[in-house]
């Protein structure tokens, strides 16, 4: 499976209506450009308003939630129930409690039809707040429409953390919190050139691929100098 970034969306406030507008544009823009955009799968956050829109515009794509975010949400509930605090349950020293929580999260690697059975088996013998965690899990994450989103059985790409890492690296390249549109445009042009160079070298199976980082850095610096010179002139 190959993962490709296909669009950038600049927004000052991150909320679902803006994401839906961006998604709508992502659907219609390839039509205008006569490009066949038919992804096999789409990874997104667990946003109930966004997922149906994705499924409507890309009916052939398998929509999946981010496994990392799924784990974060469950661990947030762990903290909320006091399972990390004394004296309710000493999470960090109580190996059995820790093991149960890890086993609960590991059910994501089971085939969907086996998840319910797995959770019930792991729930056996639990009491108190740990039992409350299992009840929360069953109510919030095991409905027929939500369960397939976080199940990652035989799934190679399970999170969008690589995208978040790319965002962080791009922010570092910008060098400041707020950039003007022209500065952002130049930054994206340089990034596109770096990515295209990387893709071409990988597709050509160039033996010098191990030096890609150095080559891409050189390309980026050269393009930045050219862009700066053009802006000054």
What is the average pLDDT across 71-85?
Answer: 89
C-beta separation of 78 from 94 below 8 A: no
Domain residue extents for the chain: 66-150, 160-233
Question: For the residues 10-38, what does the mean pLDDT come to?
Answer: 62
**Structure confidence by residue, pLDDT tens digits, 144-187:** 989 999 999 998 888 877 777 777 787 788 888 777 878 878 88
- pLDDT exceeds cutoff 90 at 215: no
| Coil vs helix vs strand at 220 | helix
In angstroms, how far apart are the furthest CA atoms of the chain?
Answer: 74
Alpha-carbon gap, residue 103 to 100, rounded angstroms: 5
Q: Give the SS3 label for residue 63.
A: strand
More confident: 105 or 34: 105
Report the C-alpha gap between 96 and 93 in whole angstroms.
Answer: 9
pLDDT value at 91 more than 60: no
Q: What is the rounded end-to-end Cα distance, in angstroms, of the chain?
A: 44
| Contact (CB, 8 A) for 197 and 213 | no
Which residue blocks in the chain are alpha helix, DSSP H? 16-33, 50-57, 67-80, 95-106, 112-123, 128-141, 147-150, 161-174, 181-203, 212-232
Where does the pLDDT of residue 113 fall: very low under 50, low under 70, confident under 90, or very high at 90 and above?
A: very high
The reported pTM is 0.65
């Amino acid at each position: 499976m190959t993962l490709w970034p296909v669009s950038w969306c600049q927004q000052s406030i991150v909320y679902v209506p803006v994401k839906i507008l961006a998604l709508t544009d992502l659907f219609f823009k390839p039509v205008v450009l006569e490009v066949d955009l038919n992804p096999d799968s789409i990874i997104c956050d667990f946003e109930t308003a966004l997922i149906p829109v994705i499924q409507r515009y890309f009916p052939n794509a398998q929509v999946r939630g981010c496994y990392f975010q799924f784990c974060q949400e469950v661990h947030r509930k762990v903290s909320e129930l006091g399972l990390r605090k004394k004296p309710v349950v000493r999470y960090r020293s109580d190996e059995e409690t820790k093991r149960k929580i890890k086993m609960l999260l590991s059910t994501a690697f089971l085939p969907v039809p086996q998840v319910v059975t797995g959770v019930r088996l792991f729930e056996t013998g639990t009491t108190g707040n740990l039992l409350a965690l299992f009840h929360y899990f069953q109510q919030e994450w095991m409905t027929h429409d939500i369960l397939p989103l976080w199940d990652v059985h035989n799934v190679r790409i399970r999170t969008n953390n690589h995208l978040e890492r790319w965002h962080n690296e791009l922010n570092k390249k910008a060098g400041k919190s707020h950039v003007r549109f022209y500065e952002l445009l130049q930054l994206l042009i340089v990034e596109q050139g770096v990515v295209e160079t990387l893709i071409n070298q990988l597709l050509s199976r160039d033996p010098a691929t191990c030096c890609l980082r150095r080559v891409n850095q050189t390309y980026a610096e050269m393009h930045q100098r050219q862009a700066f010179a053009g802006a000054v002139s």
